[in-house]
Structure 1
Amino acid sequence: MAPSRKPVNLVLLTIPNAWTPSYPAAATAVFPPGARPARGSESSKQISCKGDSQCSVAGAARCYGTVTSAGTDKQNSRGGPELPYRPKQHSATTSGIVEPTILRKGHGQSIYVPSVRLSPEASKSPSVHKIHILGEDARSKFIAHALSGVYDSVERLAWTRPSNKYRYLQRFDKTGTATFEPLNVGRQVLASKSDTHIEELVVSSNTAEGAMAALEAVKHRVDNNTTVCLMTDGLGVLEDVRQKIFSVPEKEPAFLLGNMSHKFAFNRNFDSVRQLRHGMWNITSVQRSAVMSTEQPKVETQTNFVRSLQAATLLETRYTPFDSWFRYKLPGVIFDSAVEPVCLLLEVPYSGLLQNPNARKLISSLLEEIVSVLRLMPEIGRAETYHELLDLDRAHKALYGRILRQRNRESSLVQDVRRGHPVNVDYLNGYFLRRAYALGVEVPTNKMMWDLVKAKNAIATTLRDSYVRIEETSVTPDMEDEYKNTSSY
């Protein structure tokens, strides 16, 4: 009697013809279609999938159509359980991920079909959760890269001209060795070209002028159901945003304020975003009032937006009450208000300030006026956390300690004025001028420096606009023939 054959169950996985899966460029092993590494080989150990958010392929983040390891269990490939504060985390219903399918064959062999993501076109569906990053600086690219492992779709927006330069992230290990990894970010698009609603938005700009121009470009896409995390240098930006852009309180979005201690810079030589320093991302919420409230709700009552940002481990996000956030923000604002204008006035690097007694006297005068304003501000009051900033001797030591650490660098304000970048003086010295006027405090040195910075910037702008712009182009055959015919030889 012939032995009965066992039925074989096959599961077919259909992928649209309009899209072809792409594999991470940083993978160290490439296999032809239909092939897979032998179980237990070195090649199979170099590719491993860690849930739906990230694949470990030589350090590269998971991209569309990523491949799971031949030894990965089906249950493990789905990632950890969905957290209660992240209801929009990757799942088969929201992110469009097709789980790895196991095709059973005889003799205990298995064929693993790779899991795939939705194509970029399909991710534009309204049912797919999306976070928008509005920024044209290095910081915004890093945020988009970090969040790409948390959200189903991350869209980068620009308000002037989209740019897709700087495709790699450059970091340094403990030995000082530079490592490069591809930035897992999509193409940047112009914010004003779409009318789709934005639910969660991160705005990153070094200047308040850039932040307000960015919000003006997306004003038609946000409403009172939108959450906006605003990240700029200086203080008092949110008050002007509410006054000039969202003047109707019932229609304005919910605002969060962010401040990063991470430091980034563009590296043109290696087409990369260079991470200069690791740090944290402090976020707080503020209420609509002339004077910011210091009584903030607890972390447990914050939006899912903040909790999802905390899930991106590269960002090191931390929610803090406003008084702690303000204490964390102030040292940088004081430095930019008391030291940077003096460097611009004297046109010297930081080291030049230490050898000039008149420069040190000017810095001390600026610092004393700033501290006198801080002591009367209701946001600070008698809080012990500000004791170091309100004590003049300790404030001087902290300020000069920072100058010593940066003594070999050029002032960032001097670079901005020379390159024609907008200056942020209205939200540095200008912020303390407005608060001093409201509190009845005289700050003549800060007023003088505010005028000088604006005057120097106006002179630099006039000089830059007088230059004749030259555009480099290729010579066509017709242009070459015309030149030969009209030449004198």
Structure 2
Amino acid sequence: MDLHLSNQIHVIGFTPLAKFYAHAIALTPNLSVQILAHHPPARANWDVEGRRLRLYSRSGQFISSAEISCPEPIADPALRYRGVPLAKQLNNIIIDTETGAILPTLRNLRHRIDRQTTICLLHSGLGLVDDINEAIFPDPNERPNFVLGESTHRVGRISGYGYSVQYRQSGSLYLYGVPRLENTEFALLGMQQSQHLIQMLATQQSLSVVPLPKARFLWWKIPWLIFSSTADCVSVMLGIKYSQIGPNPYARSLMIDLLEEAITIVSKFPELQVMPHKVESFLRPQFRRKMRAYLNAQGTNTSPWIAKVRMGRAPPIDYFNGYLVRRAEEIGIDAKHHRMAMAMVKARVNARTWELRTDLLGTTPYMTDTDAIGGGRPAPKPEDYEIDWEEM
């Protein structure tokens, strides 16, 4: 089978980080970039803002700009006009978008993706690849190649400008090429295609690409996974800010239970046993102090998960607590605290969705109590739900 390596990269998402990577790729010789966007305003603003992506420092000083092509719309292939040819194959994809948008987006692009496609997922959680394969690529022979990524570059929006990004702090891009499970020629070609995408990104020095093997990638990523599955989870469960967890003995107890269970689970990961000294670092008191210090460093900030729940959107708990629960089941460890936490967070999302749906002309007094998620509504009546309360 011939190996075709393309130097074009498609970026899915219109987040500041997605635009930062599109800007960096556009400035790299011999590489081309194309943004795939969901919303029509992205295309209109492209022309208004000079058809360029601009990068500014934290103080507002101009750094650089790069000319880009007009964003290509992501549309359901079933809705295309007759006689209009299908778009070209996608060879290299970088995804940084809302978690809930990833599966629908890839489903709409399914006809442009095959085993020669490499998808780089910039996502803070773990376990998303399994869900993508199960939902969209059930045939192992037709699955794309995957690269997991985690970025520590800090960027932000500039109000009123869709194609300008504020570069707040330099960081690194950690990448891990996921090997294909089958031991065939396709597996070897797939790894070469994944490495090709990693090498292309590494040619842009400003991205500070750091390729890692699986064990080291997991070891680097796990502390952030544990923090979100404990602190962010407790924040949503109780509707409180980070700074309110420590002084509240009940919130603190919840977080400790989740933290201890998470440490027990990750310390048993088979892929980490090749680095016993690294596993030992999770079990030491210093790691727990590190988690507390990071919690205190958040100050009075509100968890980003709370912002999602306020809007009636589910936070990515399936790829934090849910990942720990799935791995615990594989290993044979009880994960009762994280399973309970998942149920409580999803219950809060469900309740908030109901609250927003039943609001009439904005008359509901949201945010009038101390719950950071919202509230102020009277408790729902049993007849509001199709549930037999007598049998519960």
Q: TM-score range by the shorter chain?
A: 0.7 to 0.9
Whether 1:187 aligns to 2:70 is yes
Classify the secondary structure of the residue corresponding to 1:163: helix
Q: 1:427 aligns with which of 297, 319, 322?
A: 319
- Cα deviation for residue 270 of structure 1 reads 5.8
- Superposition pairs for residues 48-447 of structure 1, below 5 Å? 129-150=7-28, 151-159=30-38, 163-164=42-43, 168-172=54-58, 177-180=59-62, 181-182=64-65, 184-192=67-75, 194-207=86-99, 209-268=100-159, 272-289=164-181, 303-381=195-273, 383-384=275-276, 386-387=278-279, 389-447=281-339
Gaps in structure 1 of 5+ consecutive residues: 1-86, 89-127, 291-295, 471-489
Q: Do 1:159 and 1:213's aligned partners in 2 also have CA atoms closer than 8 Å?
A: no
Q: d(CA) in 1 for partners of 2:281 and 2:125? A: 17
Unaligned runs of 5+ in 2: 78-85, 183-187, 363-392
1:360 corresponds to which letter in structure 2?
A: R
Shift in CA distance, 385/148, structure 1 to aligned 2, threshold 3 Å: farther
CA distance, structure 2, for counterparts of residue 463 and residue 273 of structure 1: 35
Would the aligned equivalents of 1:258 and 1:282 in 2 still touch at CA under 8 Å? yes
Q: How many residues align?
A: 334
How much has 1:314 moved relative to structure 2?
2.1
Q: Identity, % of aligned pairs?
A: 25
Aligned equivalents of 1:384, 1:437: Cα separation in 2: 22
With normalisation by structure 1, the TM-score equals 0.63
**Counterpart contact for 2:151–2:173, Cα < 8 Å:** yes
Displacement after TM superposition at 1:325 (Å): 1.1
- The structural deviation recorded for 1:199 is 1.4
State the match for 2:374 in structure 1.
none
| In 2, Cα distance between equivalents of 1:131 and 1:319 | 18
In terms of fraction of residues, the more helix-rich structure is 2
Distance in 1 of aligned mates of 2:90 and 2:140: 18
Structure with larger RCO (C-alpha < 8 A, sep 6+): 2
Q: Residue 264 of structure 2: SS of its match in structure 1?
A: helix
The 1:215/1:196 distance shift into structure 2, 3 A limit, reads same
Q: Helix, strand or coil for the counterpart of 1:215?
A: helix
The letter of the residue matching 1:171 is S
Q: Which has the larger radius of gyration?
A: 1
For residue 211 of structure 1, what is the amino acid of its counterpart?
Answer: I
> Over the residues paired in the alignment, what is the CA RMSD in angstroms?
2.9
* TM-score for both structures, normalised by structure 2: 0.77
Match of 2:350 among 443, 458, 465: 458
> Would you say the 8 A contact 1:371–1:392 is kept in 2?
no
Contact 2:146 2:194 in 1 (8 A): no
In the aligned structure 2, how far is the partner of 1:168 from the partner of 1:465?
Answer: 39
